[in-house]
A = this chain, B = another copy of it.
Amino acid sequence: MHKILLIEDDAAIRLAIKESLESENYFVDEVDNSSAAFNKIHNDNYDLILLDLILPDMDGVELCKKLRAEDIRVPIIMVTSRKDEIDKVIGLEIGADDYITKPFSMRELLARIKAILRRVSFDASKPEKYSFGNVSIDFKKFVALKEDKPIKLSATEFRILHYFIQHEGEVISRDKFLDDVWGYDSFPTTRTVDNFILSLRKKIEDNPAEPKHLITVHKIGYKFTR
């Protein structure tokens, strides 16, 4: 889940934005002035900062500059009320990644946030293709073959296999699966994991009753072997 710091002195606007962001499953911290923001930023890791340009104590521009001067590179989206303020401010010297002027639609704000987060966080080490036994998988084309015949995997099944492959040989507990594959905003039971293992075995094992790749480690979890 992405963590966003919202810096805005108008309480009503702050609340509105916070609620929208939360409904999109972002975690939001809010402050109403830039010195509080400055502290928060130093004590916490944010994925993105939403910064209103007019703040009581330190100006938003100053905060932005200060952060960049410290080589803090969290993406920053500036929010301004007046178009002509941008001119003074958003110039690149300041180091904001994007800006949006009031009034803006929530949809646009959310879209901009999403666009920036997407750009920043791309998966570093993902195998695009992988094969084991008589199974081969193309994670870019989302195609899986067993003995050259296509098998149908759901999106979650692809994710699980991908995770397994990245952690080959390692025993993964059901809880870890739920954390890492499902994420922090979904809470199925651990039985859900078993069921996915079951269906994956049916699809990729020669003999699902005697799995060679998706191995049960009793009372611990499952592991993948090539």
Contacts and interface: CB of A to CB of B under 8 A. Distances in A.
Interface of A: 10, 12-13, 16-17, 19-20, 23-24, 68, 73, 86-87, 89-93, 95-99, 102-112, 114-116, 118-119, 140-142, 154-156, 158, 169-171, 175, 178-179, 184, 187, 189, 217-220, 223
When all copies of this chain in the complex are counted, the total is: 2
Contact of A217 (B103, B142, B178): B142
Query: Interface centre among A109, A142, A179, by most B CB within 10 Å?
Result: A142
Given A99-B105, A154-B218, A219-B154, A141 B92 contact: no
Given A115-B179, A118-B175, A170-B141, A97 B90 contact: no
A114 B175 contact: yes
Contacts of A73: 19, 23
A97 B105 contact: yes
Contacts of A179: 115, 118
B115 A119 contact: no
26 contacts: A10-B93, A12-B93, A13-B93, A16-B68, A16-B92, A16-B93, A87-B103, A89-B103, A92-B102, A97-B106, A97-B107, A99-B105, A107-B116, A107-B119, A111-B178, A112-B187, A114-B175, A115-B179, A118-B175, A118-B179, A140-B170, A140-B171, A141-B170, A142-B217, A142-B220, A155-B219
4 closest pairs, A vs B, by CB? A111-B187, A155-B219, A90-B103, A98-B107
